[in-house]
Every structure is written in C-alpha cells, then in structure tokens.
Amino acid sequence: MGIIERKEREKERRKDEIVEAARRVFFEKGLVTATMDEIAEAAELSKATLYLHFPSKEDLYLAVAMGGLRALHGKFQEIIEHEPSIVRALHRMKEAYMEFFRTQRQYVQMFSFLQMSQFHKQVSDHMRSTCDSENDKHWEAIIGLLRRGVEQKIIRDDIDPTEMAIVLWTNASSLMLRADNEHDMWKRRRNIDLRKTMETSFRMTIDAILTPAARLEYQALLHAEHAAVHQS
C-alpha cells in the first residue's frame, strides 16, 4: 500500500534532520557542553522527540561521527577504485585525509571519541554494532589496498597488511589529534609545525614498507609534486 514505506522514509528523513541539527550543535560546543535541549531547539523539535529516535545523547553523537566516517570512507573508496597505481593511491588518500580534517576540524575530536571507551556510558548495543560494521568496512578497504600492494610487489612481502593498516591509520589519527590541540603550543615553544610532522611520519612509514622499485616511484611522485608547488 506504499503508505508504510512512505512513513519509513519520513522517519529516516526525520532522523537525518536530527543528526544534522546535532552535528551543528556538537560542532559548535562539543559533546560535553552541548545539551539535548539545545539540539532539540536546533532541530525545531522537543527534547522528548529526540529520544524517540535516539536512546541517548551519546548515541546521537556517535551517529554524527559515523556520518563523518562514511564521508571520509567514501573519498577513500573513490580513490581505491579509480587509482590504478597503489603508490599514488596511498599518496592521494593521505592528501584526502589531510583535506578532510582541514576543512572539518571538529571530526578530529569526534573520531577520537570512538576510542575513549570510558566515556561510552549510555551507548546502545544497536549503535555499537552500527559503529562496528561501519568501522569494519573502513578497515577492509585499507587492508585490501595494502594486500594488493603486497601481491603486486609494491609493498614488501614481510609486511602484514592488516598490521600496517592499523599502524598507518592509528598514527595519522593520533598526530592529527595532537595537531588539533597543540599546534600553536609546539609552534610557539619549539618551532615545530605538527602538520609537517604528520607528513614526515607518513612518508617515513611508507618508505619503510615499499619495495625498492616502488620507493623510487614514490620519491619521484613527491619530487614532482614538490616542484609543482614551488612553481605555482
């Protein structure tokens, strides 16, 4: 009869509206300072209605974070599917990663929250498993790419693709978080640019896992880009 489906759709849309309102409020105030009343006001709904759709503030926060993760994952997927060169794909994923957080800084803290299990006091099992499967997709994509790299002899065969995916992603995230919090402090006190430190760290890791031939390709790529930047 179609009415049920329409209601389903409307319910989903309502949920999305709430998440979008929550995103705005959380972006501005962060998890702790933002209140459900403020989010309700931003969504032009009553607080009780929010609780019809999300069982807790933390669930709502995670829904916002998952939206961000999906967006970033989409960019990665796009690169993985369309870039034939694995070396270039890794490089472009790093660029996309930097760009994503440069333009949407607030996701840095949100993604880090996923790791802070002691703050997950009220997260529902349903949301937990949603996060889980979303995360799994993300890991699968990166691990798959590295695995292909090993098969194609781009990446050394004594490297475990899964381990290396964890190392790359975890290191990038944590340096990004530090940059988000302490960028000015390091610049001021010790004249360190944490953005550059991230680049250094990434480059070092990639250098360490590539086969000699691939390393040459990577260095040529960096060199070309360097030249291009200095030309413009």
Which residues contact its own copies (rule: CB under 8 A)?
A: 30-33, 109, 112-113, 115-119, 121, 160, 162-163, 166-167, 170-171, 173-175, 177-178, 180-181, 186, 190, 192, 194, 196-197, 200-201, 204-205, 207-208
Shortest Cβ distance from residue 133 to DNA (Å)? 23
Binding partner at 195 among DNA, its own copies, none, C-beta below 5 to 8 Å by kind: none
Residue among 53 and 72 whose Cβ is closer to its own copies: 72
Shortest Cβ distance from residue 23 to DNA (Å)? 15
For 96, the token pair is 């996309």
For 41, the token pair is 């006001």
Question: Could you list the residues that contact DNA (CB under 7 A)?
Answer: 1, 3, 6-7, 11, 14, 34-37, 45-49, 51-52, 55-58, 122
Shortest Cβ distance from residue 121 to its own copies (Å)? 5
Shortest Cβ distance from residue 12 to its own copies (Å)? 29
The residues, any chain, with a CB within 8 Å of residue 54's CB and separated by 6 or more, are 18, 60, 63
**CA nearest 172: which of 202, 210, 195?**
202
CA distances from 20 to 11, 16, 27, 70, 145 (A): 14, 6, 10, 14, 32
User: Residue 170: enclosing H or E segment and its boundaries?
Assistant: helix 161-190
Binding partner at 57 among its own copies, DNA, none, C-beta below 5 to 8 Å by kind: DNA
Residue among 15 and 156 whose Cβ is closer to DNA: 15
**CA nearest 146: which of 72, 56, 214?**
214
Binding partner at 7 among its own copies, DNA, none, C-beta below 5 to 8 Å by kind: DNA
Shortest Cβ distance from residue 44 to DNA (Å)? 7
Angstrom distance (rounded) from CA 26 to CA 61? 8
Binding partner at 35 among its own copies, DNA, none, C-beta below 5 to 8 Å by kind: DNA
Shortest Cβ distance from residue 158 to its own copies (Å)? 10
- Residue 91 C-beta-side C-alpha neighbours within 13 Å: 19
Q: Nearest 5 degrees, angle CA 151-CA 152-CA 158? A: 55
